[in-house]
Every structure is written in C-alpha cells, then in structure tokens.
Amino acid sequence: MTLSVQFYTIIGMVLVGIWLGLILDTYGHLLNRSMISRWVVFFYDLLFWVLQGLIIFYVLLLINEGEVRLYISCLIMWICYL
C-alpha cells in the first residue's frame, strides 16, 4: 500500500467516522425505545450495525481494495474474543 493510498484510507475513515456519529445520533433520536418491544429494538440495533459495517467495508473496498492490515485484523479478533 503506497503512502497516498494510506492517506486516502485515513481521510476516508475519518469521514466514515463522522458519518457514523451523525447517523448514530439520528438513529437514537428517531427510535423511541420506551414505546417499542425489547426484541424489536434488538432487531433494529442489529440491523443498524450490520448495515453500518457493510458501509464501512464498502468504503474500504473503494479506497484500498478492502485491504485490512495485520494490526487491524488482530484488533478485530481481540474485540470478538471479549
């Protein structure tokens, strides 16, 4: 991965982070958790995070062909272990 691709990856991930923060706040305000069953909220939350994960991977795919470095994959494995 060249230096320019790494720079584009950082910029892309910063923009995706801003997007994720904005959409998470919007989702939290639009979903009235006290009026909805816990199972429905669980399903909505699961669907939300799966869609956001797909969006993040799609952005990575566009920027650097979906390349995930060793330290990122180790971090993902560690999080899954917890």
Domain boundaries, the chain: 3-81
54-74 per-position pLDDT tens digit: 998 898 889 888 776 666 667
Mean pLDDT over 38-64 rounds to: 90
From the list 13, 23, 57, 16, the residue with the least C-alpha distance to 31 is 23
Buried b (16+ CB within 10 A) or exposed e, 23-32: eeeeeeeeee
pTM tops 0.85, yes or no:
no
